[in-house]
Amino acid sequence: MPTLTSPRAGRAAAVAAAALVAASAVLVPQTAFASVDEPGGAQRHPGDATDDLRASIVDGPARNVILLIGDGMGDSEITVARNYAYGAAGQLPGIDALPLTGQYTTYSLFKDGANAGKPDYVPDSAATGTAWSTGVKTYDNAVGVDIHGTPHDTLIELAKANGLRTGNVTTSEIQDATPAVQVAHVAARSCYGPDSASCGTDALEQGGLGSISEQLLDTRPDVTLGGGSASFTQTAKAGQWQGETLFDQAVDRGYQVVGDADGLDAVTAADQNAPLLGLFTPGNFPTRYAETVATAGGADGEAVTCEPNADRLDTRLSLASLTEKAIGLLDDPSSDRGFFLQVEGASIDKRDHSADACGQIGETVDLDEAVQVALEFARTDGETLVIVTADHAHTSQIVDSTPPGLSIRLRTVDGTDMLVSYGTSPAGGSQQHTGAQLRVAGYGPGAANLVGLTDQTDTHYTIAEALGLSRDRAALSAGATVTLPKSSFEPGEEFEVTLGGFAGDRQVGAVLASDPVDLGRTDVLSGTATITATAPTEEGAHTLTVTGAQSGVEVVVPFDVAAGGEPGGPVTGGPGAGAGAGGGPGGGSSAAGWVDGLASTGAAVAPWLAAALLLAGAGTVLVLRRRRRAASARIPAGMVSGH
């Protein structure tokens, strides 16, 4: 890592020094001081650890946060993997190395009926992910919305609005629940792409925000890595990119699209001008180990040793490698702003559902390697909070004898056998999630807030507070400006409009009036954007109104249309009386009505879009569609067909 030269370097060095003291106590070698059958031989903390624990408590704020999620990784799944790969007296070098540990509750809520708003004790990944991404409890199946259908800002959305770089990495389809909760707001987690029937009123053609894949492109993280390319071959059914595939749309909107390890290696920078979209499989990633499914009476059989999966991706696409790549692209020591990165090991859950012990173990080991990468960076950086946790508990249990349900016998690194049971579904069924509390562990500034018993929603606020994130989108866009090149234009003259200061927004809408002409939606890149407009043919006084889609901040700039329009100088307008104030979650009202942008998902959109739809019905809307920038030449081969 380059030498830090910013004013924060002194504090970073002090924080790193304190954290290293704690790490030295936690990361003891696996070699035991004595045999485990001797007094003290199995002890994990020889001596008094009080001073080391004190040294591990580091005040915030944090410059960066890396959140690592093991999907379905309960305490039992951690123990199964540790026993198999490192032995009962060993430790997972990443997951077990975090010095500050707590437990959190994960229950979801019932959406409706007699139990509406009451606890649902066994949650799914959509509800649990929404809890930490938005700080709001919701119902199973919901992504980024509460039980009333109201969207709430996610950590990635808030981090972007506050000027931080953002990343989203997974071994699943990028549309799967855990990665989706950071970038989308839909009532049904299966709303993957424009062809998904489950989208209902969330579909663009129904006036909603669109499918998860389409909303991902709107949210625009700087780095997105995972599977799920199949959904991006689907074609938009409404909006400015209607008729184009989502891959074409991504290229039109400036994304760097890659589909293999070589393509990823070639990417040396990613930001809002050229965000990275790396999709390496049509669906989920293949697992590290070949499948070994538990069977009825399986623990009575021969002991199994896990074998490598011949279909596993290039190791340059392992979760650890993707984590390292994402950190390298997001970290910018020369900037005064840091980053937020979410990383998911997705198939611990998926293989647990299938009673596949080796698949589950390999995915836990993969996540552990990613945690090691994050910790190595954090120890060097000194200002990074690393959090490792899971979304929900799962079925697998270590048992003493063959149970009546499904089971398997595994030969561990200790040279002895471990019996693992899957008892919540018969053979061929899907093993169930369970409702137990989960481990949450941390390292770095603010990690002490994880200690004790917390709730999953606490993690959202721990991260937001560590990063100092403002939730007031209208305030973040209060300095918005709209600049016209001059005050008077000839009829039909084309001109460019420059926008600045829309930090609280990801998109803006623009309308020319007197005779209303909608100019469509424009992506906001780090608070700035450029809109191409054409002056009305009718001479006289007109206005251009630009509205932040998320903040509701509105800027109205007057101009004239006259034959032989005078050159003049630039004209700049700022928020007027109609600008939103205190919008967004935790703030006051917003002209957009967005507790993030909708009154209820699929039911209403920001005012500028609602107006555009009305104008379209009257036949007076002109949508300025982007020109395709040689999209077919810029999308990697193999990503547009056969998925």
Question: Nearest-CA neighbor of 15 among 61, 68, 65, 67?
Answer: 61
Q: Give the H or E element holding residue 440.
A: strand 438-443
Q: Give the H or E element holding residue 166.
A: strand 165-173
Residue 292 contacts residue 357 (beta carbons within 8 Å): yes
Local structure of 58: helix, strand or coil: strand
Count the neighbouring beta carbons within 10 Å of the beta carbon of residue 426.
Answer: 12
Residue 46 contacts residue 33 (beta carbons within 8 Å): yes
Q: Report the distance separating Cα 299 and Cα 197, nearest Å.
A: 42
Q: Report the distance separating Cα 631 and Cα 232, nearest Å.
A: 13
Question: Nearest-CA neighbor of 73 among 402, 438, 369?
Answer: 438
Question: Nearest-CA neighbor of 279 among 224, 358, 326, 324?
Answer: 224
Q: Give the H or E element holding residue 224.
A: strand 223-227
Is 125 a known active-site residue? yes
For the four alpha carbons of 275, 325, 348 and 119, in that order, the dihedral sign comes to negative
443 strand-pairing partners = 386
389 strand-pairing partners = 69
Show Cβ contacts of residue 505 under 8 Å, excluding neighbours closer than 6 positions: 161, 473, 477, 524, 527, 548, 549, 550, 551, 553
Residue 243 contacts residue 223 (beta carbons within 8 Å): no
Question: Nearest-CA neighbor of 93 among 45, 168, 23, 43?
Answer: 23
Residue 562 contacts residue 539 (beta carbons within 8 Å): yes
Where does 2-117 show beta strands of DSSP type E? 64-70, 100-105, 108-109
Residue 72 contacts residue 433 (beta carbons within 8 Å): yes
ω before 61 within 30° of 0 (cis)?
Answer: yes
Question: Nearest-CA neighbor of 492 among 568, 560, 561, 571?
Answer: 561
CB-based burial label for 436 (10 Å; 0-12, 13-18, 19+): middle
Q: What is the dihedral of CA 217, 222, 182, 100, to 10 degrees?
A: 170
Residue 511 contacts residue 519 (beta carbons within 8 Å): yes
Q: Report the distance separating Cα 156 and Cα 298, nearest Å.
A: 44
Count the neighbouring beta carbons within 10 Å of the beta carbon of residue 538.
Answer: 10
Strand order in the sheet with 276-279: 256-258, 276-279, 223-227, 165-173, 339-345, 64-70, 384-390, 438-443, 100-105, 452-455
Strand order in the sheet with 295-296: 295-296, 406-411, 417-422, 397-399
Show Cβ contacts of residue 88 under 8 Å, excluding neighbours closer than 6 positions: 82, 412, 414
User: Which is the catalytic residue, given 56, 76, 125, 551?
Assistant: 125
Annotated catalytic residues are: 125
